[in-house]
Amino acid sequence: MYQSMKRQSLLAAMPRMILALVLAAVLLAVSAGGVLTMLGGAKDLNALGANVKEGDYVSFDMSRLMSAYASLSNSGGETLEVYYIVRLDNDIYLSMRADGKSEEKFERATDQSYDYYRNDSGIMNQMGTISGQVTALDDESYQSMSDWITQSKLSGFDGDEPTGTILALEVQHGKVGLMGVAGNWIVFVLGLLSLVWFVLELVFARSGRCHEQVTNTLGSDAAAAQEWEHAEALGNARIGQSHVWYSQRGKSYVFSVDEIVWVYKQFDSKVLGRYKWPVSIFTSKRDYHELCVAEDTQREQLIGLLRAHGGHFVYGYSQDNYDQYINDFKSFCARAAADDPDADAPLIKLPD
């Protein structure tokens, strides 16, 4: 009996386990590369110089930002992205793309660079490290950056023959992998949590906790185990001569037929699940159980089996039944135990 319940719990948990595995695989695949890159640390962009390549995760001081050479705005005039020129030692230039929200912060750095390089005034102060991943620069942006550098006669391009180098690369500020730094960590953690979810579902389904209530109620009762083997399966329940077993959310439960005091069919069906048509059952212990079947017509069969196995209970939902159950439970139980239960409750005659 208990081994069968474990198998049922494992089957019930399978959709959740598959979902957890799929989520873990997708989330980790999206974020693992970025996280591993960040754990490896950012490389010094200036030290790499012309050896920087696409895919490198780099960092540099904001003081190396020369000027914005292009921007992207929406129809409302809001700046979405700004493209900056980054100058490295030995007159090596490349692009940096940043979110428009950072424009004000980077403007202070470009103002300092302008005063230092163009007006020969001011002091070049360190302004804080920024980082991002290097990607290829599209041809149009490369041409715009090159035109700006040559027309502005920046160092290395201020003579008859250029001596500087313009790289067709850009640093995507705050990005690594497919998303930003924070986004990578959030998605990575969600992926790990999905993996933990899968493990917990598996451990729980294979443990005895899935039928803990049954164990506490029946223990190792051999007669109950034999009854379970011959019980009639209907929906999520198995109805025996004196007990009813059912599974719900990966757990197994049991109660005695003679404990039932109130039964009614719920008005609405469930949206999801194989067994969508519920029957509410209340016991003399004031416990609540919900048995579900695949078809509405099977609910009559379920209730009839409970009657046929000796169940005596109030049948049907009404405000009067509810009020009596809540306010006068003793009388309600006495009514349920009467020799002539409500005549309109379904009854199935069992074979001799």
Q: Where are the alpha helices (DSSP H) in the chain?
A: 2-40, 45-48, 103-117, 139-151, 181-206, 212-218, 222-230, 297-308, 319-327, 329-336
Range of the domain at 219: 208-336
Domain end marker among 154, 182, 206: 206
Task: Give me the chain's average pLDDT, please.
Answer: 84
Work out the angle between the directed axes of helices 329-336 and 319-327 (0-180°, nearest 10): 120
Q: Which residues, at least 6 apart from 99, have a Cβ–Cβ distance to it below 8 Å?
A: 80, 81, 82, 173, 174
**Whether 179 and 249 share a structural domain:** no
Q: What are the tens digits of pLDDT across the range 320-347?
A: 999 999 999 999 998 888 745 444 555 4
Tokens 């995760």 belong to residue? 57
Q: Which residues contact 330 (CB under 8 A, 6 or more apart)?
A: none
Is there a single domain that holds both residue 171 and residue 234? no
Q: Are 279 and 293 in contact (CB under 8 A)?
A: yes
What's the token pair of residue 341?
Answer: 């239960």
In a domain, 130, yes or no: yes
The share of the chain scoring above pLDDT 70, in percent, equals 85
The pLDDT assigned to 87 comes to 92
In a domain, 271, yes or no: yes
Q: Are residues 213 and 304 in the same domain?
A: yes
171 within domain boundaries:
yes
| pLDDT tens profile 238-266 | 888 888 888 877 778 889 988 999 999 98
Domain match, 65 and 89 both: yes
Mark whether 245 and 180 lie in a shared domain.
Answer: no
Residue 200 pLDDT exceeds 70: yes
Q: Specify the DSSP class assigned to residue 102.
A: G
CATH number of the domain bearing residue 332: 2.30.29.30
Number of domains within the chain:
2
Q: How far is CA 99 from the centre of its chain?
A: 27
In whole angstroms, how far apart are CA 273 and each of 245, 249, 292? 19, 11, 10
Name the more confident of 53 and 272: 53
The one-letter code for the residue type at 284 is S
| Residue 240 located in a structural domain | yes
Same domain for 197 and 167: yes
- Asked if residue 43 has pLDDT above 50, the reply is yes
Q: Tell the residue number behind the tokens 């989520």, with chain if given.
A: 23
| 223-242 pLDDT per residue, tens | 766 777 778 888 888 888 88
Mean pLDDT of 93-104: 89
Q: Which of these ranges, 96-100, 124-128, 193-197, 210-214, has the smallest mean pLDDT? A: 210-214
Res. 350: pLDDT tops 50: no
Between 294 and 216, name the one with better pLDDT.
294
